Amino acid sequence: MALEDAKSEVDGAFGRSDLKGLAFENAFGGATSFLRRRYTKDLAGVDLAITGIPFDQAVTHRPGTRFGPRAIREASSLQPFDPPYGWDGFSPLERFAIADYGDMAFDYAHTADVPARIEAHVAGILAAGAGCIVLGGDHSVTLPILRAHARRHGPLALIQVDAHTDTWRDDDPGRIDHGTFCYTAVKEGLIDVARSAHVGIRTVVEDNLGIHIHDAAEVHARGAAAIAEDLTARVGAAPVYLSFDIDGLDPAFAPGTGTPVWGGMSSAQAAALLRGLAGINLVGGDVVEVSPPYDHGAITAVAGAHVAMELICLWGWTRR
């Protein structure tokens, strides 16, 4: 850590002049943008935008993920001092112009309008030529994000880390439900089923619509590196969207979530899985379902911040 910089740097979220570079302001002080990136709505020259969607009105059990983006940003203040561990010295904060685009605005009293707003919000970022990583929010937000990406890239290979497949049947277009986003994405042709997969599943679903499942037991038995190798082969050169529901982790590693299920991955397994995917054509991703009211010691928010950093690394790895 550059001690001289620590003495002078503060509130880089508003004051830093360069979109690239590590940050050295004290982790416990200053404005908490994601990874101390500059808050800006000006995407000129931005390679990758981080944005929050604090929406949790589609949950089946415990609410609270509306506070997820704020908690993840705060937890991320521990990370921007050094390049991320395990990436062979690759330093995406120094290599790419990354901005915190802030949260999406919406009227909480008009829930039905939110999906279209999310799609337009993300589409605007992509139209500006920037990549997009989203901090959720419940898992319903992923459907309109996929719509925006599919409009730009065509059908996507989806890698979904989750305790649940989220393919529960839902043929009512008026419903907004975090447990059905994947079902609708398949029916709308947003994802290429043959190139998509779920990882960490440990709940029963009647019909997974043909998407391959690497359940949590398989991850434990074969190891995360082997699963990552299979996923890399499955997606091939296709554009990939990676959605990481934090309940893919065991509740011991992510207690702050709405629908926790025991028997999940450890944070170490998740790190190995994500790093093992280096080289995939990641075009976008999200980390969702971080619910701070049920967290302890910011364990889940810290995990979410690290997942988001790994998504940045995956996005940047093939663009170095």
Check whether 245 is labelled as a binding-site residue: yes
Check whether 306 is labelled as a binding-site residue: no
Other Cβ atoms closer than 10 A to 41 = 9
Check whether 166 is labelled as a binding-site residue: yes
- 74-78: long-range contacts (C-beta < 8 A, 24 or more apart)? 74/32, 74/298, 74/301, 75/298, 75/301, 75/302, 75/304, 75/305, 76/32, 76/34, 76/35, 76/36, 76/305, 76/308, 76/309, 77/27, 77/28, 77/30, 77/32, 77/36, 78/27, 78/302, 78/305
> Vertex 296, ends 200 and 98: CA angle to 5°?
70
Check whether 139 is labelled as a binding-site residue: yes
| Sequence ranges of the binding site for Mn(2+) | 139, 162, 164, 166, 245, 247
| Sequence ranges of the binding site | 139, 162, 164, 166, 245, 247
